[in-house]
Structure 1
Amino acid sequence: MSIPKSSFHIQLPHITKPFKTLSHKPSKILCSQSPAPQNPIISILRVIPDWADAIQESRLKQPRPLYKNKDWVEHRSSLRHLKHLLSSASSRVILSLVPPVLAFTTVAVFVASYNTLVFWDLLPEFFPVLRASSLPYQLTAPALALLLVFRTEASYSRFEEGRKAWTKIISGTNDFARQLIVSVESDSVLKTALLQYVLAFPIALKCHLINGSDIGKDLKSLLEDDDLAVVLSSNHRPRCIIQFISQSLQLLNLESSKLTTLESKVTCFHEGISVCEQITSIPIPLSYTRLTSRFLVLWHLTLPIILWDDCHWIVVPATFISAASLFCIEEVGVLIEEPFPMLALDELCKLVYDNVQEALMSEKKIREMLDAKMENGASRKQSPNGYPTAGSGQSTWPNN
């Protein structure tokens, strides 16, 4: 059973005096100017980074599943380490690290080759061997570890904040729909339209937060065409749907207490928008991110020189392993800093829709059963001692 499209349409009030918009002076751009041609060397150097970024962005757009019981069994399986190792070639995080890891490994190969040529006297005598003491690295290694830990922890706190915000939004949507189904007794067109607006809010907010979402496609089967046109023409689509909800509530013939309760649920939606927009608009302080990146780059540029005396050509795999490990930790922190593409928002919105569908299907049946119980309860006979007779419907604990 699907929610039917209603013929109810809300007429937005005509604003005769719109808000004054800020005037922007057009910038002076000469028509004769043309974009400078890109250096072919830079274009060649950008091939691998652009390829890695394209893979990463495409993987971020893939829908996330909600875990079920079988997923948790697989998640804690003893074979998970082998499975994760074999799937490394398709990992989004690992593929995004190809440019820096390849660059630092190349530097290690260059340093090892240069020192080998000097050692074999194939270069003039004034060329020195690139070597240095490992003491500075021993002193700065704890600082780098703490910097990576704090960076990842700060990113995870943002991820947790986004998850909690969406938990409140989904819970509020379910509660709002439940109260609408119970409070509005008549199966009117307005009730159906209002339920559609409530279900459309989390979808609109999801599309508002995730880049590249197609809100028209997601809401096409849920909203009427003219309602969808109004939503698509607005600058802030989640708030536009809240306006539909607020104005629809005013048209309901409800008691003031019930209306106040329903209007209070709209506050949950506003709070959810505010929290989510703050997370997407305000990143971790950029100086912190830049410091971590610069520290990692300088560390691995000089790592082959530090390790040459002890490792010689082993500096190449050592640099590769170090760069892959430390940059992977930093990359995970950058990914979860923007939590919403990492959450299963599509599945959460679908779950809300399925819950409301089930509530609508069982609404009349449950009400009929309760009315029948009330009628039967009035005709039940009591025993002389005041206890209910057999078959009176009194429930007992299953273990008793």
Structure 2
Amino acid sequence: MAAQPIPSIHRHPPKPTHVARCFPDPSKASSPAPAPSPSSTNRLLSLLSAVPDWADAVSERRIRDRRPLYTHVDWRDHRSSRRHLRHLLSSLSSRVILSLVPPVSAFTAFAAAIATYNTLLPAYALTASSLPYQLTAPALALLLVFRTEASYARFDEGRKAWMRVLAAAADLSGMVMRHTAAAQPHHPGTRALINYILAFPVALKCHIVSHSDIKNDLQGLLSEDDLNVVLRSKHRPRCIIEFISQSLYVLDFEENKRSIMESKLSCFLEGIGVCEQLIGIPIPLSYTRLTSRFLVLWHLTLPVILWDECKWIVIPATFISAASLFCIEEVGVLIEEPFPMLALDELCKQLHDSTQDVMSVQNLVRKRLVAKTKDQDSGSRRCSDNGWPSSKSEQAKID
């Protein structure tokens, strides 16, 4: 899906009411002279916002890419001694680095402006002592560390919530297959119930990840009528849970078995609650804003602090400092919303494939056991009641 450009307030034309108020009709002689046209200002602001808009659009498009599950080959590449060169060469395609283009380029340009000013006007050079930086550097380091740790804690909580949901779905589908294998193996509702169970993680994924196509994802799992009911629902994961709960009664399970299966639905409800909490409640905004403001003020004053000792080296020094510190902060912001970073599509597909494999293996094993039982019954009939063969010919066959 193509990424939609991030709207900019400078690109929208002014509302007609504002135009009428600010720019009266010049044809009226009694009206005051119109104010200068803001087109040049808007054009300048549009040019300044072009780079951030481009970086944000690329980042949003990359964040929608499907994340793969690691295989043995991926792990071998992950720990390869050539990984550093590979990561360096792929820097231009990194979402994190692309997000750093606007702030890092802005602070580097500001450092170049300060260096130019100090060189042209040495008598009025902007310089200051480095003691304040030495005192505040530990505070900035603690802010970044706490910000990143809090974001990773949210990422880990989201991952564990999804693992519990997938484990409950696999457990519940296995219980349904085992309990209906002997009693009602060909009941039409059995297959539908298993599909409802497999549809729940997909519906939850679409509920918490933006720009998800739930209709396309559930097309092969639910019938057309069931899918329409789910699409009309305001809370689609809970609608799937209702399908599962009602199906347990339709299949007429025993009371104790149905109670055990319904207890698994509590894991689904818990997963919904954890995921909605992570989406709706970010890290306290005051903490995020404090970290951002601290970083901005730090790098705005960095060229002034370093000028006496570094001179024109303040430009690469500011670039390296901004790229390093803003990169750490960007990673914290990126993993604060954990679900786009997880391979949810692949996890749902893995659950579906493993369930299909269990069903096929279950049918094959049942047929083998039934055939083996028939062979054993036919063999036992050839023997006498005390277990010994009833004739010499049968004794010879056994030997």
TM-score by length of 1: 0.83
Return the offset for 1:252.
Answer: 1.1
Return the offset for 1:34.
Answer: 6.5
1:307-326 to 2 correspondences below 5 Å: 307-326=306-325
Identify unmatched segments of 5+ residues in structure 2: 1-14, 23-37, 389-399
Q: Do residues 370 (structure 1) and 369 (structure 2) align? A: yes
Q: Do residues 231 (structure 1) and 230 (structure 2) align? A: yes
Q: Do residues 268 (structure 1) and 267 (structure 2) align? A: yes
Residue 279 (structure 1) aligns with? 278
Return the offset for 1:82.
Answer: 0.6
Return the offset for 1:377.
Answer: 7.0
Give the aligned residue type for 1:47. Answer: A
For 1:383 and 1:152, the matched residues in 2 are separated by: 73
Q: Do residues 361 (structure 1) and 360 (structure 2) align? A: yes
Residue 218 (structure 1) aligns with? 217
Tell me which protein shows more helix as a share of its residues: 2
Identify unmatched segments of 5+ residues in structure 1: 1-30, 120-124, 385-400
1:77-116 to 2 correspondences below 5 Å: 77-116=80-119
1:1-400 to 2 correspondences below 5 Å: 33=17, 39-119=42-122, 128-185=124-181, 186-372=185-371
Residues 77-135 of structure 1: CA distance to partner in whole angstroms, max 9, x if unpaired? 0010111011101100000110000110011000000000013xxxxx6xx11000001
For 2:47 and 2:235, the matched residues in 1 are separated by: 40
Distance 1:268-1:48 versus aligned 2 partners, 3 A rule: same
**Higher RCO (CA < 8 A, seq sep 6+):** 1
If you compute each CA radius of gyration, which structure gives the higher value, 1 or 2? 2
Q: Secondary structure at the match of 2:222?
A: coil
Give the aligned residue type for 1:204. Answer: A
% identity of equivalent residues = 61
Residues 197-218 of structure 1: CA distance to partner in whole angstroms, max 9, x if unpaired? 1111000100111000010111
| Aligned residue pairs, count | 348
Give the aligned residue type for 2:166. Answer: I
Give the aligned residue type for 1:150. Answer: F
For 1:160 and 1:187, the matched residues in 2 are separated by: 41
For 2:169 and 2:18, the matched residues in 1 are separated by: 51
For 1:138 and 1:370, the matched residues in 2 are separated by: 76
For 2:263 and 2:357, the matched residues in 1 are separated by: 24
For 2:186 and 2:127, the matched residues in 1 are separated by: 82
Return the offset for 1:374.
Answer: 5.5
Quote the RMSD (CA, aligned, Å): 2.2
Residue 392 (structure 1) aligns with? none
TM-score by length of 2: 0.83
Return the offset for 1:371.
Answer: 4.0
For 2:18 and 2:216, the matched residues in 1 are separated by: 37
Return the offset for 1:315.
Answer: 0.2
Q: Secondary structure at the match of 2:331?
A: helix
For 2:299 and 2:327, the matched residues in 1 are separated by: 14
For 2:365 and 2:257, the matched residues in 1 are separated by: 21
Return the offset for 1:356.
Answer: 1.1
Return the offset for 1:40.
Answer: 2.6
Return the offset for 1:32.
Answer: 6.0
Residues 11-51 of structure 1: CA distance to partner in whole angstroms, max 9, x if unpaired? xxxxxxxxxxxxxxxxxxxx964699883322221111110
Give the aligned residue type for 2:169. Answer: T
Give the aligned residue type for 1:298. Answer: L
Return the offset for 1:359.
Answer: 1.3
Residues 52-85 of structure 1: CA distance to partner in whole angstroms, max 9, x if unpaired? 1101110010000000001000000001011101
For 2:152 and 2:363, the matched residues in 1 are separated by: 45
Give the aligned residue type for 1:343. Answer: L
Give the aligned residue type for 1:157. Answer: A
Return the offset for 1:250.
Answer: 1.0
For 2:16 and 2:314, the matched residues in 1 are separated by: 53
Distance 1:117-1:282 versus aligned 2 partners, 3 A rule: same
For 2:212 and 2:18, the matched residues in 1 are separated by: 32
For 1:359 and 1:240, the matched residues in 2 are separated by: 26
